[in-house]
Structure 1
Amino acid sequence: MTTERRPDALIFDMDGTLFETDTLLVSVHQRVFRTLREEGLYTAETPPVERLLGCLGMLLDDLWRKVMPDASAEARTRADVLLLQYELEGLAAGEGRLYPHVEETLRKLKEGGAKLFVASNGLEAYVKGVAKHRGIAGLFDGIYSAGEYGTATKVELVSRLIADHGLAGQTVWMIGDRSSDVEAGRGNGLKTVGCAYAKYGGASELEEADVLITDFRELLG
């Protein structure tokens, strides 16, 4: 990967970009649906975990409508609570890992003078929990989530981040693995970097990205 100028700031998605989410979510998925069934809120077969992984990057309400379209509103609301509870319990127990070379690369980018941020459509406690339990929280100048700011799109979330930190007019990259990340970058006039090493979305989602990387270290370019 080559670049004309090193970025002043980099904004990262979390799931599928920094965090290899299936290393946590496979077990969490089974626990969520087992509990829903025990509580009488869901009686159908447990949806395949691949369906949930394929919805990463969506807002939670949209995610559950895709994962269990026939479920009641009560079941989806309860699933929100259970998902966060079991994710945080898993993270605290040491489950889930970052993609290879993420921590070392982030540290080198930080040492090189770049400001680092996270922008995720996830819940605040989850997004900050991943950063905390995987030891990278202190590397970021800001960790933004749709859950904390109540944004309807990632374009809106990234716009708020840029305004809050005075990044307008600077060289900023948006790095992610889903079409929502590319849209967030392009919608805010940023260079977009697609993470082709992730496996949760389709390859077509990154067609509009400026650059594709297959190894996180390529960001050091």
Structure 2
Amino acid sequence: MTKAIIFDMDGTLFQTEMVLEHALEAVFSDLRSEGKWEGAAPVETYKEIMGVPLPVVWDTLLPKETDKVKEEMNERFQTYLISSIQEGKGALYPHVLETLADLKEEGYTLLVASNGLPDYLKAIVETYHLDHYISDVFSIARVASGDKGELVEKACNSYGVTKGMGVGDRLSDFKAAHRNRLKAIGCRFDFSKEEELKEADIIIDDLQELMNI
């Protein structure tokens, strides 16, 4: 029997907002110089939809552009994000490393299931040495459907998870946890929404609170 905690990455472990605006501004600066965009980068729009699969992101931000342009902008966005992370412009949320260390000491298998792409997640893990505590990182690229519930199911099956928690900040995280019979823990952090947090079993304001659950 394996007891595990499966974490979302963006807005749960990693303070995505610290690198998001810089990367998004860089992408839309490129678009402006190419005559494909006017005005400011839609940072607030992205914050509203944070946590959705990347194809949905670009369909929302660039609804009038071709799939080819959206794919190219996503590739540039990933490059800018990774550069910002590696340059130390991001940060983990408070008490992440201490909490992960304590949970591992308690015998939990710690996993990540994220809508992020592999190279982006790898940059976070390597920069902040999360691999000292986390056994595996499951990117949405591992499932063709792009469904968070299926991704968490894959993580559970890979590690024989029979009980535990899913920790995240958005509705897709809570639904994925419930689908896989995990307790859904909602993080009231940067991108969370109160109406979505109502679907979580327990709401926390700091990751250290996991030690009391």
What is the match of residue 190 of structure 2?
Answer: 199
What is the match of residue 137 of structure 1?
Answer: 131
What is the match of residue 12 of structure 2?
Answer: 17
- Once residues 190 and 52 of structure 1 are traced to their aligned partners in structure 2, the CA distance between those partners, rounded to angstroms, is 28
For 2:101, the aligned partner's letter is: R
How far apart are residue 60 of structure 1 and its match?
A: 0.7
Contact 1:47–1:68 (CA under 8 A) maintained in structure 2: no
- Once residues 69 and 202 of structure 1 are traced to their aligned partners in structure 2, the CA distance between those partners, rounded to angstroms, is 24
Gapped runs of 5+ residues in structure 2?
none
| 1:165 to 2:159 alignment | yes
1:123-134, aligned counterparts within 5 Å?
A: 123-134=117-128
- Once residues 166 and 3 of structure 2 are traced to their aligned partners in structure 1, the CA distance between those partners, rounded to angstroms, is 12
How far apart are residue 136 of structure 1 and its match?
A: 1.2
What is the match of residue 219 of structure 1?
Answer: 210
Q: TM-score, normalised by structure 1?
A: 0.90
For 1:65, the aligned partner's letter is: D
Cα offsets for 1:38-83 (capped at 9, x unmatched):
234x223233312112222111110111222223323211111111
- Once residues 200 and 146 of structure 1 are traced to their aligned partners in structure 2, the CA distance between those partners, rounded to angstroms, is 19
Contact 1:36–1:75 (CA under 8 A) maintained in structure 2: no
For 2:207, the aligned partner's letter is: F
Equivalent of residue 74 in structure 2, options 75, 80, 83: 80
Q: Among the aligned pairs, what percent are the same residue?
A: 36
Q: Secondary structure at the match of 1:47?
A: coil
Cα offsets for 1:72-125 (capped at 9, x unmatched):
323211111111111111111111001111111111111121110000011111
Equivalent of residue 23 in structure 2, options 22, 25, 28: 28
Q: TM-score, normalised by structure 2?
A: 0.94
Q: Which moved more, 1:114-123 or 1:132-141?
A: 132-141
1:38-187, aligned counterparts within 5 Å?
A: 38-40=33-35, 42-167=36-161, 170-187=162-179
For 1:189, the aligned partner's letter is: R
What is the match of residue 3 of structure 1?
Answer: none
Contact 1:17–1:177 (CA under 8 A) maintained in structure 2: yes
- Once residues 34 and 141 of structure 2 are traced to their aligned partners in structure 1, the CA distance between those partners, rounded to angstroms, is 26
How far apart are residue 37 of structure 1 and its match?
A: 2.4
Q: Secondary structure at the match of 1:98?
A: coil
Contact 1:10–1:116 (CA under 8 A) maintained in structure 2: yes
- Judging changes above 3 Å, is the alpha-carbon distance between structure 1 residues 161 and 101 closer, same or farther for their aligned structure 2 residues? same
Q: Secondary structure at the match of 2:165?
A: strand
- Once residues 46 and 166 of structure 1 are traced to their aligned partners in structure 2, the CA distance between those partners, rounded to angstroms, is 47
Contact 2:171–2:196 (CA under 8 A) maintained in structure 1: yes
Number of residues paired by the alignment? 211
Q: Secondary structure at the match of 2:50?
A: coil
- Once residues 68 and 54 of structure 1 are traced to their aligned partners in structure 2, the CA distance between those partners, rounded to angstroms, is 15
Contact 1:11–1:175 (CA under 8 A) maintained in structure 2: yes
Q: Secondary structure at the match of 1:199?
A: coil
Gapped runs of 5+ residues in structure 1?
1-6
